[in-house]
A and B are shown apart, each in its own frame.
Chain A
Amino acid sequence: MTETISIFIGVIVLLGALLSLITTFGLIRLPDVYCRSHAASKSATLGVLFVLVAALLYFWIKDGFFSARLVLGIIFVFITSPVAGHLISRAAYYTNVPLWDKTVQDDLKTKNKQKIVKEIKNS
């Protein structure tokens, strides 16, 4: 394992850790559920992906061991984490968790109203 590669992998791990830290700051400082889930589902995913990719490269270059489990984990986190964020914020919206008081746009509200009006007209 050459010096360049070890520095490269170290940089990737540190970037992943930094993104996780930024996620935590976002969770503490952002005002409502939707903003927080925005922080949690995006930057946390990328942070975890960076750490996993670094682990994959490390074991691949150092031991010559290509871990299929890590590849599977990368794909899995990449698919599931945004969906989890989507489901959590949707559940929050439908249980009437209030939006931040400086919110200016709520498309889903008017959309749902239109749908209900259409259903009443059809019946």
Chain B
Amino acid sequence: MKVNDMILQTVTTLLSFIILIFSVYLFFAGHYTPGGGFIGGLMTSSALVLILLAFDLKTFKKIFPINFLTVAATGLLISILTGVAALFFDVPYLTHTFDYVELPILGETALTSTLIFDLGVYLVVVGVAMTIIQTIGESE
């Protein structure tokens, strides 16, 4: 008998947004407060796993038609490139800079190139976690 998953699915559609927003918040909060790429990536993949639990693998692949191994590879590439970019400015590998920038809406914001490195970490964590879970879920 097919059971009715309506309560779980309705709550998932609402909650996955809250979890995703919180994961983005954690990702950007990493410089001055607890948070960062690793925990943000884990939080994002937990939201994706919640969607995966409430719906099935086929629906999940329709919503996110991404190969998560590519995501992990892109993250590694971004992290390496931020390290390599330092070499063009005549400073050692993985040297990061920091500056105050006037952004159109947000006003004066402290931007650092560590954020881009963190983005790489974030993508690697999301990619690896989702690859592991999808591979285990697919095998019968």
Contact = CB atoms under 8 A, between A and B. Distances in A.
Interface in B6-43: 7-8, 11, 14-15, 18, 22
Interface stretch (A3-11, A17-25, A43-51, A74-82): A74-82
Nearest to A80: B15
B14 A94 contact: no
Nearest to A112: B1
B11 A76 contact: no
| Chain B interface residue number, banded | under 10
A86 interface: yes
A116 B1 contact: yes
A112 B18 CA distance: 35
Interface residues of A, number: 14
A73 B22 CA distance: 10
Contacts of A76: 15, 18
Given A112-B1, A116-B1, A83 B18 contact: no
Interface in A62-93: 69, 72, 75-76, 79-80, 83, 86-87, 90
Contact of B7 (A83, A94, A116): A83
Interface string B44-76: 000000000000000000000000000000000
A68 B56 CA distance: 33
Contact of A72 (B3, B7, B18): B18
9 contacts: A69-B22, A76-B15, A76-B18, A80-B11, A83-B7, A83-B8, A87-B7, A87-B8, A116-B1
Given A79-B11, A87-B8, 15 more contacts: A72-B18, A72-B22, A75-B18, A76-B15, A76-B18, A79-B14, A79-B15, A80-B11, A83-B7, A83-B8, A86-B7, A87-B7, A94-B3, A112-B1, A116-B1
Interface of B: 1, 3, 7-8, 11, 14-15, 18, 22
